[in-house]
Amino acid sequence: MDFSREKAWSVLTEHVGDMALRKHCVAVEIAMRAYAEKFGEDPEYWGAVGLLHDIDFDKFPDEHPRHAAELLAPYGYDRQFADDIMAHSPDWAPERTRLQKTLVAVDPLTGFILACALVRPDKSLDNLELKSILKKMKDNSFSRAIKREWIIDSAQALGVGLEEHMEFVRTALAEAVKTPLYRAARLVG
């Protein structure tokens, strides 16, 4: 089966028109790839799950991510792949696999870290310090849509320390945006 980035990207752009949502999907892809490498898993597969995890959001914002399977099936993605995406629904009942827990954990955190970088004068992920991310976690007026308990609980479910998780994802994003592929995504402007 073809889990290549090239294919996943073309499917994403067919179904997700919103540029901010595409950027979010790319950020989640980057973090998924980094965790796959850390865990000795397949970065291509984990990255494709990240890139396509919000595939049904434009069409079914209220029922997301329950329509992922039907949107992905015509492209040859199998049920396991669709389940790996649909498992980031808050009401997913089965025990999540490590990949699925990772998706739940990086989904809110990537957005939060990018938001922290974007309010810096230099918009730099390199210069964004852990203590400043932690400070923003306590500032309820900042990035209000991202519930802090999503970040905290999902890291715990994955079995990673919160600070270590933040630093890992920040580093993954900071390194990725220096590469030609991800520089083009303009995650931090």
The binding site for Fe ion (CB under 5 A) comprises: 54, 107
Q: How far is the CB of 187 from Fe ion (least distance, A)?
A: 14
User: Both tokens of residue 156?
Assistant: 């715990």
111 and 24 Cβ atoms separated by less than 8 Å: yes
CB of 119 to Fe ion, least distance (A): 21
**CB nearer to Fe ion: pick between 29 and 54:** 54
Q: How far is the CB of 25 from Fe ion (least distance, A)?
A: 7
Structure tokens belonging to residue 19: 């540029």
Q: 37-59: buried (b, 16+ CB within 10 Å) or exposed (e) per residue?
A: eeeebebebbbbbbbbbbbbbee
Q: Tell me whether residue 59 or residue 178 sits nearer to Fe ion (CB atom).
A: 59
What is the smallest separation between the CB atom of 54 and Fe ion, expressed in angstroms?
5
Q: Is the Cβ of residue 54 or residue 56 nearer to Fe ion in the bound state?
A: 54
Answer yes or no: are the C-beta atoms of 7 and 75 closer than 8 Å.
yes
Nearer to Fe ion, 56 or 107 (CB): 107
